[in-house]
Amino acid sequence: DTGVSQNPRHKITKRGQNVTFRCDPISEHNRLYWYRQTLGQGPEFLTYFQNEAQLEKSRLLSDRFSAERPKGSFSTLEIQRTEQGDSAMYLCASSLGPTSGSYNEQFFGPGTRLTVL
Amino acid sequence: AQSVSQHNHHVILSEAASLELGCNYSYGGTVNLFWYVQYPGQHLQLLLKYFSGDPLVKGIKGFEAEFIKSKFSFNLRKPSVQWSDTAEYFCAVSVAGGYQKVTFGIGTKLQVIP
């Protein structure tokens, strides 16, 4: 499968624990995005990488959240001291870019469903 | 900042009925507009997009959408739905020329009854 992959697919943790999710984008894609989707809502943008550079972080991304893309390939999203409000589906997407004057489709992974007890 | 509103959160149709899902966005500048679909148990995937040019865009599986700039709308249509169209549909917007962060609407769950 050459699409975007995410691991783990499901994570159950206790409040206060740290969790880390991994995203492997499509290999030639240099842009990588993280979104969060809660029940009954559409995905919400969290952060964006172009190669290894993190170029924007949403206000949704509190100090407990950190994302990295160390070599411009896979990315990790870590949540420290998890809270029940962090329970959500965390989606990763990747795309080609930049391409002047055009849009490059974002391809989404299956997501990691986090449940904080 | 841009935002998207979808008018219908849950739609139930019989097969062969026509579909129109409403979507309005708010942003003062030039935008790219999208409809994404999520079939049960599957990833989000792009259904169609408007970037520029003809405001009537055609996507996969017989779907189309019309961009009406004066109304800030991008409604999704299909003349005759099938049971396999049962899915959740998300309208989305990104700022043209930006790095293409996508802002999604709340989604519309479509249930097609055979």
Count of Cβ atoms closer than 10 Å to residue A87 Cβ: 16
Q: What are residue B76's phi and psi, to 5 degrees?
A: -100, 140
Region class of A97: left (phi > 0), else alpha (psi between -120 and 50), else beta: left
> Cβ contact (<8 Å) for A42 and B94?
no
**First-to-last CA distance in chain B?**
41
**DSSP character at residue A98:** -
Q: Which amino acid is at B92?
A: A
Instruction: State how far Cα A6 lies from the chain centre.
Output: 9
Q: Is A24 on the interface with B (CB under 8 A)?
A: no
CB atoms within 10 A of CB B70: 5
What confidence score (pLDDT) does residue B29 get? Answer: 85
pLDDT at B51 over 90: no
| Residue whose token pair is 């995203």 | A23
Q: Which of residues 59-88 of A touch B (CB under 8 A)?
A: none
Provide CB contacts within 8 A for A112, sequence distance 6+: A6, A7, A8, A9, A10, A11, A21, A89, A90
Half-sphere exposure of A24 (CA within 13 A, CB side): 9
B10-14 and B64-68 as β-strands: parallel, antiparallel, unpaired? unpaired
Cβ distance A114 to A40 under 8 Å?
no
Q: What is the pLDDT of residues A10-36, one digit of tens each?
A: 999 999 999 999 999 999 899 999 999
pLDDT at A100 over 70: no
Chain B residues with CB under 8 Å of A43 CB are: 44, 90, 102, 104
- For B31-62, give one letter per residue: b (16+ CB within 10 A) or e: bbbbbbbbeeeebbebbbbbbeeeeebebeee
Q: A44 contacts in B (CB within 8 Å)?
A: 104
When comparing pLDDT for A70 and A101, which is higher? A70
**Within an 8 Å CB–CB cutoff, is residue A54 touching chain B?**
no
Give pLDDT tens digits for B72-98: 999 999 999 999 999 999 999 988 776
DSSP B42: S
Mean pLDDT of chain A: 91
Under the banding of pLDDT at 50, 70 and 90, the label for residue B41 is confident
Q: What is the dihedral of CA B67, A96, B96, B43, to 10 degrees?
A: 40
With cut-offs at 50, 70 and 90, classify the pLDDT of residue A103: low
